[in-house]
Each structure stands twice: as C-alpha cells, then as structure tokens.
Amino acid sequence: MINWNRIELKGYRLPTAIEYHEEYVDYEELPMGVELTNINKVENKLIAERVNDDITGVDKNITSYVMDNYNSGIGLYIPEDIRIDEPIRLNFNMDDESPMVIDNNIVISSPNSRSTLVVDYYSNGDTRAFHSGVTKVYAMENAVVNIIKIQRMNDHSYKFDSNIAHIERGAVVNWISIEIGSIISGSNYTSILKDEASEGNLYSIYLGDGDRRMDLEYTMIHKGRRSISNIETKGVLMDNSVKVFRGNLDFKRGARLSKGMEQESVVLLDPTVKSHSIPALMCDEDDVQGEHAASAGQVDRDQLLYLMSRGLDFNEAKRLIIRASFRSVLERIPMEELRGLIYDEIDRRIINGQAGY
C-alpha cells in the first residue's frame, strides 16, 4: 500500500504484474563490441559489479516492486572509446493487450565512450496503463551519456519512475525529462557525482492539466572535487492539477570547489492549481558554490496582448508563449519527429483544457 500525502495518494495498491508483449527496442547497427540485450538475459560482469546502491528512488517499496517484477528493459554495455552516433530508442506502447510496463534498464558506459538513449512511454485510447521502472547509469572516466525520458501516457494511467546515475572522473550524464501525461506521476532522478570534475545535468519540462497530480524529485549528490551539477525545470499548470517539486543539491565532505545550481519556473494558467516547490541545499563542505531559485506566475499579459494584436486568438497566443518556454529543453531531443509529437500533445492539452483521448 502506497501513501503519498504530498499528492494525496492514499492506500494505493501496486497492481499484480503481468507480461509485456510488445517489441520495444529500436536502433541502427551498433559499433563492434557494444552489447545490447534484454535485461533478463544480461550476465555482463561489469553490470553485476555495479547494480547495488542504496538509492531508493521514488519510493523504496515501489523500487523493490520493480526489481521483483520487471517485465522489460535492457542491459547496455559500451566499450572504451566507442561512440554511438544514432540514439538507441525504447518505445513502450501500452494498449489493452499489454497495459503494463515494469522496466529495469542498466547502462554501462566505459571510459571515453558516448551514447544517447531515448525512452518513450505512451498509451493508446482509454487503456488504463501502468508504468513503473528503474534506470541505472554507470558513466566511467570521461564518458558522456544522454538519457531522454518522455512520458505521454493518457489520463487513466499511473506512472512511477526512478533514475540513478553514478558518474566517475570527468564523465557527464545528461538527463532530459518530459512529463506531459498520466493522472498520477512520480519521478525521481538522482545523480551521484563520485569523482573529480564529474558532471550531472537535468533538463525537464512538465505539464499539468485536468486533475493530474505530480511528485517530482531531482537530486544531485556531490562527492568529487570540482564536480558540477545543473537542474533546469520548466512547468505549466492548468485546470485542477497539483505539482510537488523537490530539488536537492547535496555537497558531501570532500567535494571542494564544486558548483551546483537548480532553477524551477512554472506558469500558472488557472487559480485552481496547486504548485509546491521545495528547493533544498545541503552542505558538509565549506568551499563550494550552490544556488537555487524557484518562480511562479501567470502568462505575461503584455506578451498575450501583443500576439493577439497580431491576429491570434487567446488560446493560440497562450500556446505560442508556452511553446517558447519549453523550447530550450525540447530542442535537446535529437529526433525531429519525436519533438513534433511532443509539441502536438502540448498544444492539444493547452488548447483543449481538460485532457482526454
């Protein structure tokens, strides 16, 4: 039984796991030495050595549920000095025949390697879909890993997602999170900056409409000297939606000369929404720089009037302003057709008000 008072989720019982039957892995030809396999078949020693950590993600009970019941996911191993130019895609389509995705994904990126993984969760029609997953990334020295997660499930769906990155010396992990669906949504991103000059970035957007409730927690844990982190979040709330945002910068002893920044800005389109922002800065080391900021407000009236004076109606003007605020994050998605799907979904929700398929 799951209880989250923050978003008024009380007595929720995690569903009995069932199989997921759809094909979901999509990629071009991979370079020699790259291993990509169904997580159920992974026996890679490097993965086995690194899968244990004490990060609970969204919720320890939900994370345990995933590890006991996963029905999908990948193990990806990238050898040293290998660069994968084309993104690897996981397309999780939930329909009446396969309404449940419980995915366990592990990415091992060896020194000086580069890769991009795009994970898209979506549902069809009125399917009461469910997603819960854990994604773990291990970026070794000077590796660069980009993980793009898109959640555009319908308004009958529940979603709980945990994401953890271990980042070694000089490595970079970039998370991009797009949250524009489901009725209940819980997301956790935790990056552990283990060694000197390690870097973690998280760029996210969220859109709350209808009666949607979201709990978003983003954490950067600085352990290495001169480590760098950045959290940039942009949101829009409308109708009766509720959002809780918790951004955490945690500087551990030994993380001298490290820098961390977190910033959230949210546009409130209706007086009936609820927006809770809880930025936190924790520090056991004195020679660090940490900044956090949160802002909330309505659509700029002058911008609206200007656009409407050029012939646009109210909804069209509002749509363009919201699109512009999301653009800096969405343009980081390397596939134009996928960006188009996201823009279309955002437009539909903003213009129609209460969402629904």
How far apart CA 165 and CA 137 sit, in angstroms, is: 5
The pLDDT of residue 82 is 97
Q: First CA to last CA across the chain, in angstroms?
A: 29
Task: Assess whether pLDDT exceeds 50 at residue 211.
Answer: yes
Contact criterion met (CB below 8 Å) for 178 and 335: no
* 302-347 tens-digit pLDDT: 877 878 888 888 778 888 888 888 999 999 998 999 999 999 998 8
Residue, of 59 and 144, whose pLDDT is higher = 144
CA dihedral 283, 289, 292, 293 (to 10 degrees): 150
Query: Which segment of 85-94, 148-157, 198-207, 321-330 scores lowest on mean pLDDT?
Result: 321-330
Sign of the Cα torsion 279, 163, 136, 31 reads negative
Mean pLDDT of all residues in 92-99: 96
The pLDDT of residue 41 is 55
pTM: predicted TM-score of the whole model, two decimal places: 0.93
Task: Assess whether pLDDT exceeds 50 at residue 355.
Answer: no
Percent of the chain with pLDDT over 90: 73
Mean pLDDT of all residues in 45-55: 62
In a domain, 156, yes or no: yes
How far apart CA 329 and CA 337 sit, in angstroms, is: 15
Residues 6+ apart with CB under 8 A from 245: 216, 217, 218, 233, 235, 264, 266, 275, 276, 277, 278, 294
In a domain, 279, yes or no: yes
Task: Assess whether pLDDT exceeds 50 at residue 356.
Answer: no
The pLDDT of residue 203 is 98
The pLDDT of residue 53 is 67
How far apart CA 90 and CA 149 sit, in angstroms, is: 10
* Domain tally, the chain: 1
In a domain, 89, yes or no: yes
In a domain, 259, yes or no: yes
In a domain, 321, yes or no: no
Query: Which segment of 46-50, 63-67, 269-273, 275-279 scores lowest on mean pLDDT?
Result: 46-50
The pLDDT of residue 46 is 55
How far apart CA 119 and CA 150 sit, in angstroms, is: 6
Query: Which segment of 43-47, 117-121, 212-216 scores lowest on mean pLDDT?
Result: 43-47
Task: Assess whether pLDDT exceeds 60 at residue 357.
Answer: no
The pLDDT of residue 140 is 95
Residue, of 272 and 44, whose pLDDT is higher = 272
The pLDDT of residue 285 is 93
Q: What's the Cα-to-Cα distance from 197 to each of 109, 152, 173, 191, 194, rounded to whole Å? A: 17, 34, 12, 14, 9
Eight-state DSSP code of residue 50: H
Q: Which domain holds residue 255?
A: 2-299
* 167-194 tens-digit pLDDT: 999 999 999 999 999 999 999 999 999 9
The pLDDT of residue 124 is 86
The pLDDT of residue 121 is 97
In a domain, 180, yes or no: yes
Closest by CA position to 163, among listed 152, 179, 141: 179
Mean pLDDT of all residues in 137-155: 96
In a domain, 287, yes or no: yes
How far apart CA 248 and CA 277 sit, in angstroms, is: 11
Closest by CA position to 79, among listed 117, 50, 108: 108
Question: 352: number of CA atoms within 13 Å, CB side?
Answer: 13
Task: Assess whether pLDDT exceeds 90 at residue 76.
Answer: yes
In a domain, 316, yes or no: no
How far apart CA 205 and CA 141 sit, in angstroms, is: 29
